[in-house]
Amino acid sequence: MVTANSELAYNSKIEGDVVVTTADAAINWVRNNSMWPMPMGLACCAIELMATASSRFDIARFGAEVMRFSPRQSDCMIVAGTVTYKMATAVRRIYDQMASPKWVIAMGACASSGGMYRSYATLQGVDRIIPVDVYVSGCPPRPEALLDALMKLQGKVKRERSASKLLSA
Amino acid sequence: MTTTDVDLPTAVSQKFPSATVRPSLDCPAYNIPAAEALALLQTLRDAHGYDFLMDLTAVDWSAEKSPRFTVVWHLYSSTKHNYVRVAADCANDADPAMPTTTGLWAGADWHEREAFDMFGIKFTGHPDLRRILMWDGYPYHPLRKEFPLAGLPADFHDPEITAETKTGLISAPMAGGPFVATPGEPMSEAEPRAKDEAWNEQREKPE
Amino acid sequence: MATDFSFPDAAAKAATMPKEFEPEKMSLSMGPSHPSTHGVLRIQFELDGEVVTKADPVLGYLHRGDEKIAENMTYNQFVPYTDRLDYLAPLANNMAYAIAVERLANLQVPARCQAIRVLTAEMARVSAHLMGLGAFGIDVGAWSVFMYCFEEREKLYTLFEELTGARFTTSYARIGGLSRDVPEGWTKKVEAFCDQFLPILEEILGMLTRNKIFLDRTVGVGVISKEDAISYGLTGPNLRGSGVSTDLRKDRPYSGYEQYEFDVPIGSKGDCYDRYLCRGEEMKQSVRIIRQVIKNFPGGDWYAKDARKIFAPPKEKILTSMEELINNFMIVTEGPQMPAGEVYFEAENPKGILGFYIVSKGGGVPWRMKIRSPSFCNLSILPKLCVGNMVSDVVSILGSLDFVMGECDR
């Protein structure tokens, strides 16, 4: 009876120096614990994003303190703040420049749905231009909520079939 | 609280007989014809010590009123610690224009660009009058009263992104909101009604 | 040995070079997504090598339509939008807006309400200047300053959360008062915060004030003359750093500021270093004001009790008495009833002078609301200031101007 084991368990006494696991588990484990965000910090949520990166709500525990402003070097785009129509083209361009695999966290009400800015200038949700993986509600979401979103994203990545995507593409 | 500028009203009325007192709840305010606005502002700055241009803005009194647009300047004196408000109506309702104050204060540059962007008021003599808050190709002037809060459909300013995402500016889904009351009418009319809507239960969503 | 760029040399050398070697000007777009632009500011540069020859800031990437929204909201409904203007000091914005609307009705709020407003505004000032300092530090390369500042801000956030329910974006002020009174023992916690804050502030400032690298990057960089500062409409520490002593808390005191003793730091040269020093000193003066407010904290009402059509009655009365129920219904649905007229009120916010010009035709919804934003005016000097500096100096200048795009674009 063989069940798909997504856990990476290692007992050196039994396995010695060899770890036997699925490719998916190994690849997803690596991706999860070094999820480098691309902070698309636009408005007030950017301040909470910075607070999450600071010493009280350390995002470095999750391996994600490397806030790379370069899209080529980042895995996850955190859209933090209101996306206006003027900014939307820049956001889409930067998303296109990110190397795959890439994920998107829409942080806050404004990024998820336009928030309280139902007006002529605000994009009503960043999912109109880029595909979003996790939505975080709040205005602004507490840093704990953002960390919860990061953990949900990690859960999502854990269930992906990365090996087949890598080897087939 | 603070002292008022007592010689200002007499000085202004002597030099500018066409200036009338504008009703105001706090600081002294003057209405002046557009042609003399610049002269009045210069006098206030040079002769009366109102050295700061704090704000330059415009008000749209709605398409039914004439004159429709009023440009309002707020000056502050750092020595006397007083404000004065100067308001001038734009002559033409369909194509409003006003002389620029960038010669007096360099900061007026961006304020006038914003008034142009939001209302469409052209400031004659401005060195570089283009939009500042919306992008250059945006077809509307958002703060005009007939422009809905939800906005009107348009394209992104970058045609590549428009082609890639196959979307553009939409009218924000108001779904009957925002609900605001209309002042000064009988209660049945003054109740909060959907003031500005792109679509609601009675009207279909525009394509 | 530091590399010495002497531009006359370069010009002379370029004059001797043949025409084909003359460098073309490069066009560089800094932003809108850039770590050093404090939000979504885009500057279109024209560069000659590393030296800026033309700088054209492009704003509007965070223009959300606040002024149009204000024409469709009642006065109380607009308070959350004022939070998000200068989102580093929301309590100060709330206060400025509430006072502006109260001027329409010439409404006086009781002394306790004024004291709480001043207290929260000064705490917001400390929070905003800490953030400005942290961002300035991180832009010129000092990571630790950022971390220390954020630690202090977290303590302030805990205090704000206890008072208003939210860490920032507090929406605390209402027209005619506040949303709730100060909880038990809160002022003692603020006092404790002040006591432990001043030594830490000395430590943070000590990391930068005599730091050779910081001095090299900021002294003599981005000098703003007095005439320029006045002509461009600069306000706040940017104006005072250039030697103009305009501070609305002293010149036109509002909300009870005249009762408190504090100094206003004025700079002499108008460079980035002066502005940094002004902000550091302003934080110390804010702590001084906070201590005085707590010492003389008045009792009494925290909202204007006689403003029947403006401030909602207390909840117990609403649920039991008919007249209060009707009052509450009218205020919530139609908004606080303000008389017709125009009013312009400015407050001394951390970033500069925030002004509200409200045109009311009566009723609960304004006809026009213009927000005079300090960051918008502070940024207007950028085309003049950047020319002749190198790109890395531009980063210092942006950090020292300390603007917020939420306020600038509204």
Lowest mean pLDDT among A52-61, B2-11, B114-123, C36-45: B2-11
- CA–CA gap between residue B123 and residue B117 (Å, rounded): 11
Looking at the fold, whether C106 and C255 belong to one and the same domain comes out as yes
pLDDT of amino acid C21: 60
Residues of A in contact with C40 (CB under 8 A): 42, 87
Average pLDDT of the segment spanning C287-310: 88
pLDDT, tens digit, 9 for 90 and up, residues A123-134: 988 989 999 999
Angle at B31 between CA C365 and CA C338, to 5 degrees: 20
The alpha carbon of residue C124 and the mean position of all alpha carbons in its chain are separated, in whole angstroms, by: 9
Q: Left if phi > 0, otherwise alpha if psi is -120 to 50, otherwise beta: which for C347? A: beta
- CA–CA gap between residue C249 and residue B84 (Å, rounded): 19
Q: Which of A118, A123, A127 to mutate to test the interface with B (most CBs of B within 10 A)?
A: A118
* CA nearest to C153 within chain A: A51
Chain C nearest-CA distance from A32, in A, is 25
Chain B nearest-CA distance from A129, in A, is 6
Looking at the fold, whether C208 and C121 belong to one and the same domain comes out as yes
Q: What does the DSSP assignment read for C207-237?
A: HHTT-HHHHHHHTTSS---HHHHHHTT--TH
* A92 to B165: CB separation less than 8 angstroms, yes or no: yes
- Among 3.30.460.80, 3.20.20.140, 3.40.50.720, 3.40.50.261, name the CATH number for the domain at B8-143: 3.30.460.80
Residue C320 lies in a domain: no
The alpha carbon of residue B109 and the mean position of all alpha carbons in its chain are separated, in whole angstroms, by: 15
The first and second tokens of residue C235, run together, are 């306000």
Q: Which of A84, A85, A93, A130 to mutate to test the interface with C (most CBs of C within 10 A)?
A: A84
The b-or-e profile of C63-76 (16+ CB within 10 A means b, else e) is bbbbbbbbbbbbbb
pTM, 2 dp: 0.89
CATH of the domain at C359: 1.10.645.10
Domain boundaries, chain B: 8-143, 148-207
**By the CB < 8 Å criterion, does B143 face chain C?**
yes
The confidence band for C1, taking pLDDT boundaries of 50, 70 and 90, is very low
The confidence band for C355, taking pLDDT boundaries of 50, 70 and 90, is very high
pLDDT of amino acid A79: 93
Closest CB to A118: pick one of B140, B150, B164.
Answer: B150
Q: Left if phi > 0, otherwise alpha if psi is -120 to 50, otherwise beta: which for C387? A: beta
Please, is C44 exposed, middle or buried when counting C-beta atoms within 10 Å of its C-beta (0-12, 13-18, 19+)? Answer: middle
* CA nearest to A38 within chain C: C33
- CA–CA gap between residue B151 and residue B146 (Å, rounded): 10
pLDDT, tens digit, 9 for 90 and up, residues C198-220: 999 999 999 888 989 899 988 88
pLDDT, tens digit, 9 for 90 and up, residues B37-53: 899 899 888 888 889 99
* C370 to B83: CB separation less than 8 angstroms, yes or no: no
How many CA atoms lie less than 13 Å away from B86 in the CB half-sphere? 29
Residue C88 lies in a domain: yes
Looking at the fold, whether C275 and C382 belong to one and the same domain comes out as yes
Looking at the fold, whether C363 and C222 belong to one and the same domain comes out as yes
Chain B nearest-CA distance from C230, in A, is 6
Residue C322 lies in a domain: no
Was domain A37-157 assigned CATH 3.40.50.12280? yes
pLDDT, tens digit, 9 for 90 and up, residues C300-325: 888 888 877 888 888 888 888 898 88
- CA–CA gap between residue A16 and residue B15 (Å, rounded): 98
Among residues 102-131 of chain B, which lie with CB inside 8 Å of chain C? Answer: 105-107, 109-110, 114, 118, 131
The confidence band for A11, taking pLDDT boundaries of 50, 70 and 90, is low
User: How many domains does the structure of chain C reveal?
Assistant: 2
Looking at the fold, whether C261 and C366 belong to one and the same domain comes out as yes
Looking at the fold, whether C209 and C71 belong to one and the same domain comes out as yes
Residue C330 lies in a domain: no
pLDDT of amino acid A109: 92
CB B88 within 8 A of CB B34: yes
pLDDT, tens digit, 9 for 90 and up, residues B146-194: 888 888 888 888 888 888 888 888 877 776 666 777 666 666 666 776 6
Q: CB neighbours (10 Å) of residue C375?
A: 30
pLDDT, tens digit, 9 for 90 and up, residues C75-112: 988 999 998 998 999 999 999 999 999 998 888 899 99
Rounded to a whole number of angstroms, the distance between the first and last alpha carbons of chain B is: 57
Q: Which residue has the higher pLDDT, C346 or B207?
A: C346
* CA nearest to A87 within chain C: C61
* CA nearest to B75 within chain C: C233
Q: DSSP state, C78?
A: T
Please, is C33 exposed, middle or buried when counting C-beta atoms within 10 Å of its C-beta (0-12, 13-18, 19+)? Answer: buried
- CA–CA gap between residue C2 and residue C232 (Å, rounded): 35
pLDDT of amino acid B13: 81
Looking at the fold, whether C237 and C131 belong to one and the same domain comes out as yes
The confidence band for C15, taking pLDDT boundaries of 50, 70 and 90, is low
pLDDT of amino acid A160: 87
Residue C161 lies in a domain: yes
- CA–CA gap between residue C66 and residue A126 (Å, rounded): 19
Looking at the fold, whether C138 and C256 belong to one and the same domain comes out as yes
Judged against a pLDDT cut of 60, whether residue B120 lies above it is answered with: yes
What's the domain range around C50?
A: 7-58
- CA–CA gap between residue A105 and residue B154 (Å, rounded): 27
Q: DSSP state, B21?
A: E
Write out B116-148 in H/E/C secondary structure. Answer: HHHHCCEEECCCCCCCCCCCCCCCCCCCCCCCC
Q: CB neighbours (10 Å) of residue C42?
A: 20
The pLDDT > 70 percentage for chain C reads: 94
**By the CB < 8 Å criterion, does B81 face chain C?**
yes
Judged against a pLDDT cut of 50, whether residue B1 lies above it is answered with: no
> Which residue reads 């954020």 in tokens?
C150
CB C260 within 8 A of CB C249: no
Instruction: Spell out which chain C residues touch chain A, with contact meaning CB-CB distance below 8 angstroms.
Output: 32-35, 39-40, 60-65, 68-69, 80-81, 83-84, 87-88, 131, 146-147, 150-151, 153-154, 157, 167-169, 405-406
Closest CB to A129: pick one of B135, B152, B167.
Answer: B167
Looking at the fold, whether C71 and C120 belong to one and the same domain comes out as yes
Closest CB to C357: pick one of B74, B118, B180.
Answer: B74
Nearest alpha-carbon partner for C38 in C156, C133, C124, C107: C133
Looking at the fold, whether C165 and C271 belong to one and the same domain comes out as yes
Q: Quick one: which H or E segment has residue B71?
A: strand B69-77
The first and second tokens of residue C387, run together, are 């020319």
- CA–CA gap between residue C280 and residue C266 (Å, rounded): 12
Among residues 349-368 of chain C, which lie with CB inside 8 Å of chain B? Answer: 353, 355, 357, 359, 361-365, 367-368
Looking at the fold, whether C41 and C180 belong to one and the same domain comes out as no
Looking at the fold, whether C112 and C143 belong to one and the same domain comes out as yes
The pLDDT mean for chain C works out to 88
pLDDT of amino acid C20: 64
